[in-house]
Amino acid sequence: MGLDFTTFDVNSTVFKEPKKLQFINIIDVAAADGAFLQFITPKLRLSMGVFAIDFDNTSKNRKGSRTTDLANATKVTLPMSIDLPGYDGSLRYWMQHMDALDTHFKRVICENASKWFGKDAALITRNIDDLYNSPIKPATQYPAMFAPKVVLSDDKSILTSFFDETGAPIANPVEDIVPNCLARVRYEITGITQVVSSNKFYVNVRALEVKTYPQPKGPYDDLDPQAARVCTIED
């Protein structure tokens, strides 16, 4: 089901000691019961469909191109545009929730900087707003975006579940999902990654279940704030 973002207390988030690897530090986060944070988005526009990239590992710049061959895909994301005109209700609650999570994450990073990051603590605390990257990419010349990662298994098959509006499974989402349809995503926030070389922080977000809906032809119809407070992937 996922947690209800309209009632979830961000302050109940549990932070674990960073896992220190060679080039990154990973800070696991969880709800008060120890499970990863799971939420369900309101309906967002899946602006590019399911976007899979096959990186050329022989290239110095690792330039990639879009692919439908998931056996070679190294990165699969769901670029979701937050641009539905006049859409209020659950979208407003969700954006407020995500902003509150960002604020809390940054505060905890700063409070623990000396213990977690040693000599870099002062730099991190002083520049946290520039070093922290929110899961919501703010609007510039493009609408705001939310792009959770699709879960891949070791053999590169997609483990994230995709369904159409009837609940029927979608076998090949890269080919079969039409760009600009609507989608509701159950996603998981597993932690925060710090890149050691740059001190930048990235929130780890992965999609677990996606339900798609046809592209709307008229005014968006999910405007009732009370109805929108119900956080479920089945509706």
The whole-angstrom separation of Cα 123 and Cα 106 is 14
Tell me what the mean pLDDT of segment 184-198 comes to.
96
78 within some domain: yes
Query: Are β-strands 37-40 and 24-30 bridged in parallel, bridged antiparallel, or unpaired?
Result: unpaired
Number of domains in the chain: 1
The pLDDT value recorded for residue 33 is: 87
205 within some domain: yes
Q: How confident is the model at residue 228 (pLDDT cuts 50, 70, 90)?
A: very low
94 within some domain: yes
The pLDDT value recorded for residue 101 is: 97
Give the Cβ contact number of residue 69 at 10 Å.
Answer: 10
Q: How confident is the model at residue 87 (pLDDT cuts 50, 70, 90)?
A: low
The whole-angstrom separation of Cα 73 and Cα 67 is 7
- Domain region containing 210: 10-228
Q: Give the global pTM.
A: 0.85
207 within some domain: yes
Q: How many residues does the structure list for the chain?
A: 235
Tell me what the mean pLDDT of segment 66-89 comes to.
77
158 within some domain: yes
Bridge partner list, 203: 192
The whole-angstrom separation of Cα 224 and Cα 235 is 14
CATH number of the domain that residue 133 is part of? 2.40.50
| Per-residue pLDDT reduced to its tens digit, 30-72 | 998 888 999 999 989 998 889 888 765 554 455 667 787 776 7
Angle in degrees, CA 216, 188, 176, rounded to 5: 40
234 within some domain: no
4 within some domain: no
| Per-residue pLDDT reduced to its tens digit, 96-134 | 999 999 999 999 999 999 999 999 999 999 999 999 999
2 within some domain: no
